[in-house]
Structure 1
Amino acid sequence: MLGYYTELALRSLRRSPIVTALMVLAIGLGIGASMTMLTVLNAMTRDPLPERSEHIYRPRLNPLPLDYQYEPGTVGGPTTALTWPDAKALLDAHRGVRQAAMARGYLTARSEQSGTAPKTAAGSFTTHDFFAMFGVPFVAGHAWSGQDDADAAPVVVVARKLAERLFGTAAAVGRTAHLGNHDFQVIGVIEDWHPQPLFYAIIGTNFDDGDEFFLPLSTSMSLHLDHNWDNGWGKDESPTSPTVSWLSFWVQLDSPAQVSAYRHYLVDYSARQKELGRYERPASEAKLYGLMDWLRHEGLVPNDVMLQTWLALGFLFVCLVNIVALLLAKFLRKGGEISVRRALGARRRDVFQQLGVESALLGLAGGALGVGLAELGLWTVRQRPNDYAHLARMNGAMLVESVVLAIVVSLLAGLLPAWRACRISPALRLKAL
């Protein structure tokens, strides 16, 4: 019967090509606009560490004085990062399975190869647990040790892309990398690892290409290397000041009991700091966020992207309403044909199924058009200067979802018209023929 209904639907669609084209266009425009923004939204809200995120947590402390004019919900405020005394205390406490403090910065990389111009490279200054905690993939060498952290060793781990720029195809491990005004021994090479978003940065809304080098945090401090973010509220602006926040901090906790214990530890730590006169705010302001919760807290999705997504979905709804109106007019005009079929023995559900197949075919055609329009829309997004623009690419799953959504939309749009058409009284229509 499906083949028969499909044949009837194709005949019906060919009889009114203008109306058919209008409905396919409406579905295509609605699907194209909505899937463009949903693809961008999906790319920006995906889990950057899908196999590890449930064990990765971000502590938040609030050492701000009571008279500091700061809105707690503001993205990027002083309590987004930790001060050096707080980060060091958490590192020394070893309350997590692994823990790491980090800050990002930029250094000029100078290649040993002739004809290769120096180029600024982005990197992170961190502690040794960073690599094991986040599962950073190594292709050669290894990470530095805790002793290297203590000794402020001049060692570096570089990404494959930077290794090739510095040393060509030669092995990089054991070579000397010239970064900034200093030399570092390469002890490890990693894949070009760049989780999106770059969650371990100070603010979790970075969608750039990731880091090309990693240096021990202690080494960066001993060499007075610049980091790219800080927020101070006192007279002392040095990195070790208790009134300058500039460090990101992450901890690995593998069980609910460990999470609960760490939360209590943060509250107790804040209470002790308040007793010492360093903290002024309630200890209850100490928080522990899971990775995805932290990204939401820090405004992972820009407001303009959310607004455009809602507008696109609203446009899809408007298209749906128009398709309902067009299908209702089309199906009701077929009252005579439907009445003849009913008189010859067709049941209401047979007619309903026939009209449903016609709606599905419209959705299939609209979905194909919508995919093309969505690809065009994503191309325009990629031309924007936003750091997330390069993520606007439709994968296989989103492609299938686009077509499925188009068919579902057209079937939903056809429910009311099909139901109204099935309620037509055959006797009255046959008398009018």
Structure 2
Amino acid sequence: MFGYYFDLALRSFRRNRVLTALMVLAIALGIGASMTTLTVFHVLSGDPIPHKSGQLFAVQLDPQSMDGYTPGEEPDDQVTRYDAEQLLREAKGDRQVLMTGGGVAVQPDKQGLAPFALDARYASADFFPMFDMKFLAGNGWSKAQDDAHDRVTVITRKLAEKLFGSVQVVGKTLRMDDNDFRIVGVMEDYRPKPKFYDLNSDRYGEAEQIYLPFTTSRDLKMGRNGSMNCWDDGKDEDDPEGETGVSAPCTWMQYWVQLDTPEKADAYKRYLSNYSDQQRQSGRFQRPTNVRLRSVMEWLDFKRVVPGDVRLQVWLAFGFLAVCLLNTVGLLLAKFLRRSSEIGVRRALGASRRAIFAQCLVEAGTVGLAGGVLGLGLAMLGLWAVRQQPVGYADLAHLDPAMFLMTFALAILASVLAGLVPAWHACQVTPAVQLKSQ
């Protein structure tokens, strides 16, 4: 029967082309607007490392002075170098990593390639296995190399091909900031969406192409970037490295820990509380114990990674879709009631109200299918417009297979919902009244 109703729907479209075109356009406009904004929201709010996001945790401590203290406020997003290195030494997690952003000047040997600057990441050895980096050649450095302050580096495929024309470059030398580093690994280009492990820079932009041991970066006093929060003015001057020194009262490093079970996560949070208590007893911490341990998705929610204007646009787009559906309801109602005589004849010939209701819903769904096709084109046009905007996530605005299917599902569902009331009115037509009026 579905095929028969579908054929009737197509015949009805040909008889009422203008009315059908208005309904299809109304559905298409609503679908195009809503799928454009929903796709952007889907890209920005996704899980950047879904297979283990529940096992990776951002660590927060509260080492600041009592100046400006408000009970119950959140601790700083980052940790001091002293705390990061101490937690790393104690190694209470399954894996743990300290890190910060940096910038280096690459001095290539390749003929005709001038020196250029790149963002880098200074990290400890567990960075690569914790975040599941995929290596094309070699591997990351080891903890022993961390401890030995070795001058080693890991680079991405993109940089390896730019500098050497190949990814088989393990063992070769790369010169940066007038120092030679031995390449120990080449990894696949890495771009989590967002860059959850460090949200201080462009959250949806390209990830770093160069990775160095943190210990080595400090030995060579390499440039760093990212936010820094200092207190107790003047105390950092006591450290020979200034505000990046071990004893400086400044938070500027990210610290992540991998905990493979909920029980380990609970135990680690207790460990952080005990650590905070010990630091307060020693005089380093002044504020009451205030620690946080957030998983990846909890961290992204806490940091409000999805821009507020994107959330607002989603609500506005679905509001617009609702308006379009109300218009479609009115148009379908007008169309079905104009066919009251036809429906009356079908009822007189034995068609049940259920059959009339089903026929009308199939016709409404067919309108939605046509609206979905046109709406898909409008959504693609809308996403193209998003990609022209000067925002970090612009180039990520593409329709993936899931959102492609959702476009048609939403269009058909919306049109069927819009057709419920008109279909109900249509199936209430009384055959005798309609036949008497002919």
Moved more, 218-227 or 198-207: 198-207
- SS in structure 2 at match of 1:251: strand
- Provide the residue aligned with 1:271 in structure 2: 277
Report the TM-score, using the length of structure 1 for normalisation. 0.95
- Provide the residue aligned with 2:305 in structure 1: 300
Does the 8 Å CA contact 2:118/2:209 hold for their aligned counterparts? yes
- Provide the residue aligned with 2:229 in structure 1: 231
Aligned alpha-carbon RMSD (Å): 1.8
The 1:71/1:399 distance shift into structure 2, 3 A limit, reads farther
The answer to whether structure 1 residue 117 and structure 2 residue 111 are counterparts is no
The 1:71/1:362 distance shift into structure 2, 3 A limit, reads farther
- Provide the residue aligned with 1:106 in structure 2: 103
Equivalents in 2 of 1:377, 1:62: separation in Å? 44
Q: Of the candidates 333, 343, 346, which is equivalent to residue 338 of structure 1?
A: 343
Equivalents in 1 of 2:295, 2:169: separation in Å? 36
Equivalents in 2 of 1:174, 1:72: separation in Å? 51
Paired AA for residue 32 in structure 1? G
- Provide the residue aligned with 1:368 in structure 2: 373
Q: Deviations over 1:237-264 (max 9, x none)?
A: 5112442111111111011110110011
Pairwise CA distance, 1:170? 7.1
Q: Deviations over 1:72-102 (max 9, x none)?
A: 889xxx7111111111121111110000011
Q: Deviations over 1:3-54 (max 9, x none)?
A: 2211211121222111111111111111111111111111111111122212
Does the 8 Å CA contact 1:103/1:202 hold for their aligned counterparts? no
The answer to whether structure 1 residue 27 and structure 2 residue 32 are counterparts is no
Equivalents in 2 of 1:421, 1:202: separation in Å? 56
- Provide the residue aligned with 1:163 in structure 2: 160
Report the TM-score, using the length of structure 2 for normalisation. 0.94
- Provide the residue aligned with 1:38 in structure 2: 38
Q: Of the candidates 63, 82, 87, which is equivalent to residue 85 of structure 1?
A: 82
Pairwise CA distance, 1:121? 1.6
The answer to whether structure 1 residue 387 and structure 2 residue 387 are counterparts is no
- SS in structure 2 at match of 1:288: strand
Paired AA for residue 162 in structure 1? L
Paired AA for residue 231 in structure 2? W
Q: Of the candidates 357, 363, 372, which is equivalent to residue 358 of structure 1?
A: 363
The answer to whether structure 1 residue 2 and structure 2 residue 2 are counterparts is yes
Equivalents in 1 of 2:43, 2:284: separation in Å? 41
Equivalents in 1 of 2:393, 2:301: separation in Å? 16
Equivalents in 1 of 2:72, 2:223: separation in Å? 27
Equivalents in 2 of 1:376, 1:325: separation in Å? 28
- Provide the residue aligned with 2:51 in structure 1: 51
- Provide the residue aligned with 1:177 in structure 2: 174
The 1:66/1:423 distance shift into structure 2, 3 A limit, reads farther
Equivalents in 2 of 1:207, 1:97: separation in Å? 28
Pairwise CA distance, 1:307? 1.0
Pairwise CA distance, 1:171? 3.2
**Any residues of structure 2 matched to 1:252-263 within 5 Å, and which?**
252-263=258-269
The 1:9/1:202 distance shift into structure 2, 3 A limit, reads closer
- Provide the residue aligned with 1:431 in structure 2: 436
Equivalents in 2 of 1:337, 1:226: separation in Å? 80
- Provide the residue aligned with 2:67 in structure 1: 67
Pairwise CA distance, 1:192? 0.9
The answer to whether structure 1 residue 137 and structure 2 residue 139 are counterparts is no
Pairwise CA distance, 1:325? 1.2
Paired AA for residue 254 in structure 2? S
Pairwise CA distance, 1:279? 2.2
Moved more, 157-166 or 240-249: 240-249
Does the 8 Å CA contact 2:33/2:379 hold for their aligned counterparts? yes
The 1:170/1:312 distance shift into structure 2, 3 A limit, reads closer
Does the 8 Å CA contact 2:155/2:210 hold for their aligned counterparts? yes
Q: Deviations over 1:290-322 (max 9, x none)?
A: 111101111110111111111111111111111
- SS in structure 2 at match of 1:384: coil
- Provide the residue aligned with 1:409 in structure 2: 414
Paired AA for residue 369 in structure 1? L
Does the 8 Å CA contact 1:109/1:166 hold for their aligned counterparts? no
Does the 8 Å CA contact 1:80/1:203 hold for their aligned counterparts? no
Does the 8 Å CA contact 1:204/1:295 hold for their aligned counterparts? no
User: In the comparison of the two structures, how many residue pairs are matched?
Assistant: 429
Pairwise CA distance, 1:71? 11
Moved more, 306-315 or 274-283: 274-283
- SS in structure 1 at match of 2:224: coil
- SS in structure 1 at match of 2:384: helix
Pairwise CA distance, 1:346? 0.3
Equivalents in 2 of 1:144, 1:166: separation in Å? 21
- Provide the residue aligned with 2:239 in structure 1: none
- SS in structure 2 at match of 1:221: helix
Structure 1: unaligned runs, 5 residues or longer? none
Q: Deviations over 1:363-415 (max 9, x none)?
A: 00000001100000011101111001111001122111101110000000001
Equivalents in 2 of 1:11, 1:175: separation in Å? 71
The answer to whether structure 1 residue 149 and structure 2 residue 146 are counterparts is yes
Does the 8 Å CA contact 1:197/1:204 hold for their aligned counterparts? no
- SS in structure 2 at match of 1:247: strand
Q: Of the candidates 210, 214, 218, which is equivalent to residue 213 of structure 1?
A: 210
